[in-house]
Amino acid sequence: MEALQLFNKNETYNGFYIMLMVNRLQLLYFFLIMPRYLIHPFMIWVIILVGLLSQLNILLLSRWFLTRFSSDGYNGFVQLFGKKLVRFLSLVGLFFILLKLFVIMLGFTEIVQIFMFPATDSNWLIFFILLTCLYVAWKGVGKTIRFVIISFFCTFWMFLFFVFFFFPPIAHLSDLYPIVPMELTRDSWKGILLILSSFSGPEFLVFLGPWFKANNRTFRYLSYGNALTVIEYVTFYMASLFYFGSNYLSKTPFPIVTMARYFQNPVIERIDMVMLALELFNIVFAGSIFLLLFYGASKIVNEKVYKPSSRIGFIFSVFIIFIGMLLVNEWIWKSDEKQVVLLNLQIIAGSLSYFAVPIIIIVAMKVKGVHKDDTTKEDG
């Protein structure tokens, strides 16, 4: 039987794909619930400041993509860290991958169940979404990266609908007061961490270096993706403030979807259902990437990185994820108190991974004494 071609590199993808992946990996589950936890209008400035801080990470990531280590994939990491340390870091990475995958999948499934299929068991929804992710991931890393085109053009335009809330009679300038913080409460610090975690996602691209065509314009494309994320977050949040007001914003669990139900159309009555259906493309794209990363990291941990990808092995790894997701759904996610704990854990983990991964790589490059001769400067 022919081996499964998951990690074969048949072609490389330019900066346009990198831009789209940065943006879509940042716009996952948290943007749907973010306004509920930010509450205070001055958080608009925090989103912008964190977006600027995210640019520093983008700069570090762009430097990594320009090195030969990035294009060498696993061997490049071994040259930087050594085989044993790469194996240990892969083991740690499995935790971060699983945690992010669980939160975005379970969170989105909960929203779909509430707004679209209230009578359907959430476990069945998890099964069908994960099965779709498996189908896309089965095509390999290359085609999964290309799937971001579908994901992006199905979902990026949604924030334009919410510009409607910026105009009277819905919008009142007083809803944006106070725009300057008088004090930072405990909820404010949680909101800041949530924003930091919401910008995470691009750090996972460092493991897909062999599939990207890096050049001197890579930083520009990474920046475009990050800047678009800032615009979308600010638009969604300001629209939420105009619609609910800061006093009532925390009263609804899913403010973005609730606002989408406000839109009326003579052809489509429930635009929120259409938006959720299209958002599924983005969840499937991200889920497929995380399934591939999980399987790849598992091969490194089990020292089978040079062995061909196994159909049974890949299906088994997805089956383990599915069982784990069902258990977490039943034992943790369906309990509001335990769900908050899991969300807080992902908020901390996302913030940590986004800033730690680029810094660790750059420090390792400095220690190894990476020079200009070690970088690739492709044009195109």
Range of weakest confidence among 32-36, 141-145, 153-157: 32-36
Q: Residues with Cβ < 8 Å from 131, sequence gap 6 or more?
A: none
pTM over 0.75: yes
pLDDT in tens, 32-74: 888 888 888 888 999 999 999 999 999 999 999 988 888 888 8
378 pLDDT band, cuts 50/70/90, is: very low
Q: Measured between alpha carbons, how far is 366 from 380 in angstroms, rounded to an integer?
A: 27
245 pLDDT band, cuts 50/70/90, is: confident
375 pLDDT band, cuts 50/70/90, is: low
* Pick from 234, 231, 193, 224: nearest CA to 55: 224
Task: Give the ranges where the chain is alpha helix by DSSP (H).
Answer: 15-26, 30-38, 43-65, 68-72, 74-81, 83-115, 122-138, 141-155, 158-161, 186-198, 218-244, 255-260, 271-301, 311-328, 336-368
372 pLDDT band, cuts 50/70/90, is: very low
Q: Is the pLDDT of residue 214 over 60?
A: yes
Mean pLDDT taken over the chain: 88
374 pLDDT band, cuts 50/70/90, is: low
Q: Is the pLDDT of residue 377 over 70?
A: no
Q: Is 178 exposed, middle or buried (0-12, 13-18, 19+ CB in 10 A)?
A: exposed
Q: Measured between alpha carbons, how far is 198 from 351 in angstroms, rounded to an integer?
A: 8
263 pLDDT band, cuts 50/70/90, is: confident
Structure tokens belonging to residue 10: 């048949």
6 pLDDT band, cuts 50/70/90, is: confident
* Pick from 288, 322, 59, 48: nearest CA to 330: 322
103 pLDDT band, cuts 50/70/90, is: very high
Give the pLDDT confidence score for residue 52 in this predicted structure: 94
Q: Across the strands, what pairs with 375? A: 67
pLDDT in tens, 278-300: 999 999 999 999 999 999 999 99
Give the pLDDT confidence score for residue 179 in this predicted structure: 76
Average confidence (pLDDT) over 332-343: 90
182 pLDDT band, cuts 50/70/90, is: low
pLDDT in tens, 313-323: 899 999 999 99
370 pLDDT band, cuts 50/70/90, is: low
